[in-house]
Structure 1
Amino acid sequence: MITKRPCVILVADSNMAATFRGYFKRDGWYLSLGCAPFEINTDVGADLLVDEGGNDPGVYTKGHELLRPYQNSHHRALVVLDCEWGGSPRKDAIIAHITANLIASGWAEYAVKVIAIDPELENWLWQDKPQVADVLRYKGDKSLRQHLSDSGWWPADAAKPPRPKEAAEWVLKQTRQPRSSAIYQKLAEHISIKGCTDTAFVELHTALQQWFPQEAAA
């Protein structure tokens, strides 16, 4: 009899994969996420999958097909993609479409969760914390938060930059770094998980807490 693994995670691109790898690489990651520990192998192709096309529309249209083989090897399936891409039907429709396809393909409704980040992954990584400036190698006289505010990228009354991806690219251009998966992994390893207030990230927390409750591990 095959022993099923706890969870398979399908993400849209290598930067998302690196972000999850960074989260799960942290000591006591499950304490920060508020769930019980569970076994997770973040090698691509094990418990972490990346759409071969490396894009959100691919996950939207064929995520259920990519995950179908894992019904026999995993108890649960988590799908993560951005809301912003050409032709996107937006968050609610994305979640409903992928969820319906997963259930129709054989997954139980309680065993699947679709996380659509609005507008995109970088929303999870922006925090007014020195760790972010360190990873992005920003060394200006002002704080990075103030620099972005003065430059119009991060309004003073906003919790996150309205264009999180473009804001990150702008800073990286200034610090002469190419955007890479390594930067995303390092950010995820060092930022405050509790400090991320993005709605989709909270939905991820809630799903993992329901699937892997701390009480069950006690």
Structure 2
Amino acid sequence: MNKRPCVILVADSNMAATFRGYFKRERWHLSLGCAPFEINTDVGADLLVDEGGNDPGVYTKGHELLRPYQNSHQRALVVLDCEWGGSPGKDAIVAHITANLVASGWAEDAVKVIAIEPELENWLWQDKPQVADALGYQGAKPLRQHLADSGKWPADLAKPPRPKETAEWVLKQAKKPRSSAIYQKLAEHISIRGCTDVAFTEMHAAFLVWFPMEVAA
């Protein structure tokens, strides 16, 4: 039986929507510089969401959720936030989940755990009009300036210090409910090269190793 390239386990529906939006992009692999690989983003196919929709659930039982996929998939990617009640911090999260995956039967070089500091929204914040559009911002000043003036995103920082709270603040001002559709829309349009988050860079590096672009002889 031919195994599928990769199964991705995420902590909640917003993360799932982010990956779904990214993989919907035409020739998405070129943004990452890796070879294309088949990915079915229907939940339960190659994309899994913890049924509790939370990071602690992925931390404690991610290996159990992925165990059935050892026979059908070559590799496993696990993505969760670092910030949640009782979180032991990034390094401990990565080490714990990785050890559980290996102990449950996955090869160490076939798994990668990505813990985002502090949370997913850090991947989505860029000084781009697409971000303002997705969040429903219609102020007179550019969103970046508005957030700087409000102290939410200091001018000398690449990302808002509280990315999730900042997104929720903008949505509240726009009277727009927070939804997975917003995350999918952002992921469809943001610049991959503009994403400077450390965790995203780690995931990018894993894809380059797992799916290297073939070099013509």
TM-score normalised by length of structure 1 = 0.98
Provide Cα deviations, 1:80-132, integer angstroms capped at 9, x if missing partner.
00000000000000000000000000000000000000000000000001110
Report the AA paired with residue 80 of structure 1: V
Q: What is the correspondence of 1:4-83 to structure 2 with a 5 Å cutoff?
A: 4-83=3-82
Structure-1 residue corresponding to 2:190: 191
Structure-1 residue corresponding to 2:86: 87
SS at 1:49's partner residue?
A: strand
* Count of matched residue pairs: 217
2:123 matches 1:157: no
Report the AA paired with residue 151 of structure 1: S
CA distance in 2, matches of 1:19, 1:216: 30
Structure-1 residue corresponding to 2:115: 116
CA distance in 2, matches of 1:216, 1:42: 28
Report the AA paired with residue 128 of structure 2: K
Cα pair 1:36 1:216 within 8 Å, conserved: no
CA distance in 1, matches of 2:35, 2:143: 35
SS at 1:10's partner residue?
A: strand
Q: CA deviation at 1:217?
A: 8.7
Structure 1, unaligned stretches of length 5 or more?
A: none
Question: Alpha carbons of 1:124 and 1:106: their partners in 2 closer, same or farther (altered >3 Å)?
Answer: same
SS at 2:37's partner residue?
A: coil
Structure-2 residue corresponding to 1:169: 168
Question: Alpha carbons of 1:32 and 1:17: their partners in 2 closer, same or farther (altered >3 Å)?
Answer: same
CA distance in 2, matches of 1:96, 1:76: 17
CA distance in 1, matches of 2:75, 2:26: 23
Question: Alpha carbons of 1:136 and 1:65: their partners in 2 closer, same or farther (altered >3 Å)?
Answer: same
Report the AA paired with residue 127 of structure 1: Q
Structure-2 residue corresponding to 1:135: 134
Percentage of matched positions with identical amino acids: 85
TM-score normalised by length of structure 2 = 0.98
Q: CA deviation at 1:134?
A: 1.1
CA distance in 1, matches of 2:55, 2:75: 20
Report the AA paired with residue 13 of structure 1: D
Provide Cα deviations, 1:156-203, integer angstroms capped at 9, x if missing partner.
111100000000000000111110000000000011111000000001
Cα pair 1:36 1:217 within 8 Å, conserved: no
Q: CA deviation at 1:216?
A: 6.4
CA distance in 2, matches of 1:186, 1:170: 18
Report the AA paired with residue 60 of structure 1: Y
CA distance in 2, matches of 1:42, 1:217: 30
SS at 1:215's partner residue?
A: coil
